Structure 1
């Protein structure tokens, strides 16, 4: 594997864009990073099945850093529902552990790409239709939030995203305002990313044919470059999120997810 300036430039640009979108949409940047890291690793000669797994794991590891920058920007604006973060976090850690240490290691990369495409496409549709929740609907109780957190953590571990593709629609469905939902999703990105990243290190230990400078399934060069750049633009995205109208924000969210779901569906088919 060769680290030409063009590769470093591509990873840096990916970090800048994903960091901005992480702050803007509360998706942790993973929806952007996974397809592109998959393509970069494949172009470097990594097996297609392995490149998808490493892209998911590396994306998740970068979100550990991006989420801190993004949540600080949202916290300054008082937009984060910390009560929801505290209630969802225990379930998130549980679900993340099951996904990253157990299920992730067993599934083929092409199967993970298919899961990515289906769930992202479904979430995009829910957002794009902009269905109004029942006025009487509210956030569930403590046990309901633990269960929801487990689902968010589990699905995030399978697709390498910060959980915004599940948590944002869930919170808006429960009548949490979109800007608060995006901000809270950004805060949830940290426990999601940390728990899953640790799991990917464990489950990837001893895997054959990993490229140089890998820590489990995590590709360290991409992690360092993307994380360094993404923390610069995440606050800019968070600032933009508070200036855009609600409907436009939902449409932007949905449009980005549709594009990436289509690409990963293609990757799933060609690498099966």
Structure 2
């Protein structure tokens, strides 16, 4: 194995372990952690600014398929998944994810980096100031509102390489769903986003230069295997740690971490990486 692959593998193991720990600790999909971590790892290994954010997003989407399938099947055994929501929202989420994958291909790397930074700032505000008892409606919207919101969740999540858990859980709790049912059902959103999103990133990045030697399009094969395996084994440790710390403190610590990540990414976008 070449020195380049050894260095990439070592960095990916560390990234996956950290992403799995944070995902278990804070109860969110690992994409929020994996994308910026993999982005900075690729930069440290000398990869150009152009394709590296696209590769971080595409690889994260592929990992999310595996982790979301595991999560939704576990929640289904406890009868916590609202399959009616998945049935009626999935087509719109898939459509949005396909559009998001196409849009990501035409956005320059710096633009995609800046977009992730802005959304990370918004998410940090939700984690810092959000309250679980906020509610705007008694049930999930239907008709045109469902189509628009579903496509927006799928499109933004595909663009950013995240599973839709943050968006989905926030929407469902605001519409009267319990946090437990919202988390369980949003895990299914991750599959609906990850499959078309990852396939799109493979297709649109197939002939792009400057990718890793194990890449399929914008999805790094070695990265997928290591990140998925690392997150799989470490997430339960984070979940156990979460029970030993106050929830409010956890959320605010994570919000501060997101702010630091967002500032770093916005600086990268501004100065050109």
Question: Shorter-chain TM-score category?
Answer: 0.7 to 0.9
- Superposed CA deviations along residues 1-60 of structure 1, whole A, max 9, x for unmatched, are 734655423312322332343345453211111111111111222111211111111111
> 2:191 maps to which residue?
190
Q: 1:242 to 1:232 in 2, by over 3 A?
A: same
Structure 1 position 78, deviation (Å): 3.3
| Structure 2 stretches lacking a partner, 5+ long | none
Tell whether 2:85 aligns with 1:108. Answer: no
Contact kept, 8 Å, 1:130 with 1:250, in 2: the verdict is no
TM-score (norm 2): 0.86
> 1:228 maps to which residue?
229
| Structure 1 stretches lacking a partner, 5+ long | none
> 1:2 maps to which residue?
3
Distance in 2, Cα, partners of 1:252 & 1:218: 30
Distance in 1, Cα, partners of 2:87 & 2:236: 22
Equivalent residues in 2 for 1:195-206, closer than 5 Å: 195-206=196-207
Distance in 2, Cα, partners of 1:229 & 1:87: 33
Equivalent residues in 2 for 1:1-272, closer than 5 Å: 2-3=3-4, 5=6, 7-100=8-101, 102-131=102-131, 132-134=133-135, 136-237=137-238, 247=248, 250-251=251-252, 254-271=255-272
Q: 1:184 to 1:263 in 2, by over 3 A?
A: farther
Q: 1:21 to 1:227 in 2, by over 3 A?
A: same
Kindly tell me the number of residue pairs found equivalent between the two proteins.
Answer: 271
Q: 1:256 to 1:162 in 2, by over 3 A?
A: farther
Tell me the SS of whatever aligns to 2:212. Answer: coil
Distance in 2, Cα, partners of 1:137 & 1:245: 29
Distance in 1, Cα, partners of 2:20 & 2:75: 14
Note the aligned Cα RMSD (angstroms): 2.7
Structure 1 position 250, deviation (Å): 4.7
Tell me the SS of whatever aligns to 1:28. Answer: coil
Contact kept, 8 Å, 2:20 with 2:235, in 1: the verdict is yes
Moved more, 16-25 or 50-59: 16-25
Contact kept, 8 Å, 1:93 with 1:191, in 2: the verdict is yes
- Superposed CA deviations along residues 115-168 of structure 1, whole A, max 9, x for unmatched, are 111122212213322244347543212543332221111001111111123222
TM-score (norm 1): 0.86
- Superposed CA deviations along residues 192-230 of structure 1, whole A, max 9, x for unmatched, are 111100000111121123231210111111111111222
